[in-house]
Structure formats: C-alpha cells, structure tokens
Amino acid sequence: MSSPKTLLITGVSSGFGRAIAQEALAAGHRVVGTVRNAEARQSFEALAAARAFARILDVTDFDAIDSVIAEVEADIGPVDVLVNNAGYGHEGVMEESPLEDMRRQFDVNVFGAVAMMKAVLPYMRGRRRGHILNITSMGGFITMPGIAYYCGSKFALEGISDTLGKEVAAFGIAVTAVAPGSFRTDWAGRSMLRTPRSIADYDALFDPIRKGREEKSGKQLGDPRKAARTMLAIIDSDSPPSHLLLGSDALELVREKLATSAAEIDKWEAVTRSTDG
C-alpha cells in the first residue's frame, strides 16, 4: 500500500461493501460507509475506532447526497476513493414484472450510483485526483432469462462508467467498473427481490432457473474477501483498468458472449455495410 486513503463505500452492512470495508480497514485505510439505520451505524463504527465512520444514507434519497458528501469532506477529510457498491438484484420474467420494480431497480443500481459520482466529482476534480469503483456485474456483459431489469441496470452502469472515465481522465480521476461473477454474498438470497410467477407459458424456461439460483445461494465459487483485496490492489495501481471481471465464471461467460457476438457481426457484415450511402 503506497499510502493510507479515505474510501467512501455505499452499502457496508453486508456483501461486497462489508468485505471491502473490512479489508480496507485492515490495510490501514479510513472508511466512510453508508448504512440504513442507527444500529448498523454503531456496528460499523465499532470495526475500527477513529478510522471507521458511518453515515445514514439511502442512495435513492437524491436530495440528501450532496450535503452528506459535503459534511464528509469537511469533517472527515478528502474522499480519495468512491466505491459504489449499494445495489440489489431483481428476479422475474420481464412480462410478469411490474414497471415499478424496474424503476426501483434503476433508482438504486443506476441513479443512486450516478448521484454519488456527481456529488464527489467536484472535490476530486478540484484536487486533480481520485478513483471511482462501480460494482457492476457479469450481468452487465451477459444476460440470463429472469433478470432483465437487473442486467439492464448493470449494462447501464457499465456504459456510464466507461463514458465517465473518458471525461475525467485528464483530471487525474480513474473510473473502474468491477464486474463480479457469482460470489458468496446475499445477492441471490435475502437481498433479492423476486416477482411472483403468473404466466404458465414461462414455467418450463424459468422455474428451473429460479430453483437453481436459490439452491446455489451461499455456495458460489467466489470469495468476497478475495474480491475485496483485489479491489484494494486496483485503487493502488498507477494504471487501473476501466473494466475488471472478477471470478472464473465471469471470465468464461463473458469470453463466450464476446465470441458469439463477433461471429454474429461477421455473419451479418454485408447487411451492415449495405446501409452506407
């Protein structure tokens, strides 16, 4: 570790957020974590006296974010790294899933992350340094039946991250989209919002997928602590990646998707070129 940093991590009560916070504290960094209530605040701040700071914040409370960031900058210190971790998975066949579920998914996974970035960027830009890590998913590259809203939100965050990275590189600010595969977090367990089934035509396709996901929850290959250590190494890098896959399953599935896409592009190349004037 080159020097201690101050990390602002959203959603530190469980999953990747908790793992990143714990590893960062163990490495000597300071961590400001967002939590949802006073009990979670007390629990988090007990992890490391004088280096673990919690702030009660729902990332969908967009009007509150700027003032929380301003207070952190003034009272705790400059935010060197923002880790946009807060998010959840929605599972449901698209035709069965209410639009309101999609709005909620995007409010948390996309709009909340963007609001956090917009709040920290003026400070990072003024200092001409900073790093933003957005936790996306292999579902931001590949798709699977039954998680259309989730994949849509992660595709969006991948694209926003990539674009932002090009906009702020000249100011010494790095942006990395971290796309994990299947890890032993609560994503497929208590954290997932599931739309009830209602259309029998989808039973054969989706019922085995839902059952398999529930059965594998907590038994996934990926270790959140190892992922956290990898992310800490990324923020310490002089040339961090703009996109980083985590997990051998993500690597295999994304490579397969890219190969399939390349083959389809080649197959339809003549049609693609035919539209030129």
User: Would you name the residues annotated as active-site residues?
Assistant: 150
CA nearest neighbour of 63 among 118, 17, 124, 131: 118
Residue with tokens 């997990």: 247
Integer-rounded Cα radius of gyration of the chain: 20
Token pair 């961590």 in the structure block, residue: 31
Q: Which residues contact 167 (CB under 8 A, 6 or more apart)?
A: none
Nearest CA-CA partner of 61 in 80, 36, 89: 36
- Coil/strand/helix, residue 108: helix
Angular region, 173: left φ>0, alpha ψ -120 to 50, beta rest:
beta
Given the structure tokens 């069965």, which residue do they identify? 96
The letter for the amino acid at 100 is E
Look-up: residue for tokens 């207070």? Answer: 71
CA-closest candidate to residue 169, choices 119, 130, 135 = 130
